[in-house]
Amino acid sequence: MATPLYRVPLHFDRAADGISDPERLREGLSAVERTGDYLWLACDETPTIERLTLRPDGSFGGHVTFALADYVDLPDDGEVDVEGMAYAAPYLWVVGSHSRKRNKAKEGDDDQACIDRIARVETDASRYFLARIPLANDDELGLVPCARRPDPEDPDRELTAARLRGRGPKGGIVRELRDDEHLRPFLRIPGKDNGFDVEGLAVMGERVFIGLRGPVLRGWAIILELEPVAERDRADRLRLRKIGEDGERYRKHFLELEGMGIRDLRRDGDDLLVLAGTTLSDEAPMSLWRWPGGASPDLPSLVRGNELRRVLDLPFTRGQRDDHAEAVALYDGLQQPAVMVLYDSAAQDRLFPNGVYTDVFELRG
């Protein structure tokens, strides 16, 4: 198992626009992207994105919160459950989990109450969310999201924040998968039950890659490839271009990840880095894999284990019920290639007032 090069403190601010709670944020981080001196983060329980700025001491602070609803109209007021972010100039892309959720049994409840709770399955329309938001440099605020901005390469064109058309489980990505021979049976199954569950996002040009935590099919994890483009008559909506051999608006790529699902994606040149972990809520080791050429496949792919490179085994202690690796970002500025890893349910020794420590690992191979 790998040992971190060092820990990086992230400082959150309770007063950041009055929207985000530092304690809630630091224990529910679910997505990360780095653009130069800025670190973009999301919590799976808030309809916001967070921006931190690199400080001279190597920590990140200067916390600013941006409400997603200020840039795109959300399907409803529920949680977006952001599970992936990726920057491809000039857009920051954001994706929700697209999953249904089963209620948890509560400690202290009697047996029948627990049985009743785990029978309930909920659907939040806002979880079915894929959007791109243009970023622009402001003289005072630095790099910020915009609902619209001039295109720096074409002054006569305007860049507009937009989300994929449709609402909830009857629209967007899920609508296109209703007749899919592999994924159709899993669309109504809750995410933590090996149902359909998005975790991870990577972008290469017009290609958008979405990792699936579940389902895992007899040991094969799945990445969906999409090409969202603006609607012809509505700039704030995206549609999916037909890219499949039979006119489908998606391609499927199957990866042999030792039975694990996908927990995050990150583009590294023409390659994809894949964070792999269990599809369920149980404990299991997590690893980072490299799919050479994964960001530019020509056809739907079946990628066997010997075609992937295992580049990082994250620390794991059996019985430790916290510190679940949740998101990765390339970490520039060091003498060697590196990645930052964020954790859900961070261990107590990572926490400090209004902040949390993340790990930076050397990226080998």
**How big is the chain, counted in residues?**
365
Instruction: List pLDDT tens digits, range 120-144.
Output: 999 888 899 999 999 999 999 999 9
CA distance to 80, 150, 227, per residue, from 131 (Å): 11, 18, 12
- Residue 110: what pLDDT? 86
Task: Name, in order, each residue with C-beta under 8 angstroms of 241's C-beta and a sequence gap of 6 or more.
Answer: 206, 227, 228, 229, 249
Domain membership flag for residue 351: yes
pLDDT at 74 over 60: yes
- Residue 363: what pLDDT? 95
- Residue 15: what pLDDT? 62
Task: Name, in order, each residue with C-beta under 8 angstroms of 307's C-beta and a sequence gap of 6 or more.
Answer: 291, 292
pLDDT at 17 over 60: no
Q: Can you name the residues that pair with 197 across neighbouring β-strands?
A: 214
Instruction: List pLDDT tens digits, range 185-197.
Output: 999 999 989 999 9
More confidently predicted of 52 and 79: 52
**CATH code of the domain containing 117:** 2.120.10
**What is the domain extent for residue 157?**
6-362
- Residue 339: what pLDDT? 98
Mean pLDDT, residues 26-31 taken together: 89
State the DSSP code for 21. Answer: -
Domain membership flag for residue 84: yes
pTM score: 0.95
Task: Name, in order, each residue with C-beta under 8 angstroms of 64's C-beta and a sequence gap of 6 or more.
Answer: 16, 17, 50, 51, 141, 144
Instruction: List pLDDT tens digits, range 85-99.
Output: 999 999 999 999 999
Instruction: List pLDDT tens digits, range 240-281.
Output: 999 998 999 999 999 999 999 999 999 999 999 999 999 887
Domain membership flag for residue 1: no
pLDDT at 18 over 70: no
Mean pLDDT, residues 10-32 taken together: 79
Instruction: List pLDDT tens digits, range 303-340.
Output: 999 999 999 999 876 656 678 899 999 999 888 999 99
Number of domains in the chain: 1
- Residue 19: what pLDDT? 58
Task: Give the up-direction half-sphere exposure of residue 53: CA atoms within 13 A in the CB hemisphere.
Answer: 11
| Alpha-carbon span 169 to 198, nearest angstrom | 13
Contact 287, 314 (CB under 8 A): yes
Domain membership flag for residue 153: yes
- Residue 228: what pLDDT? 98
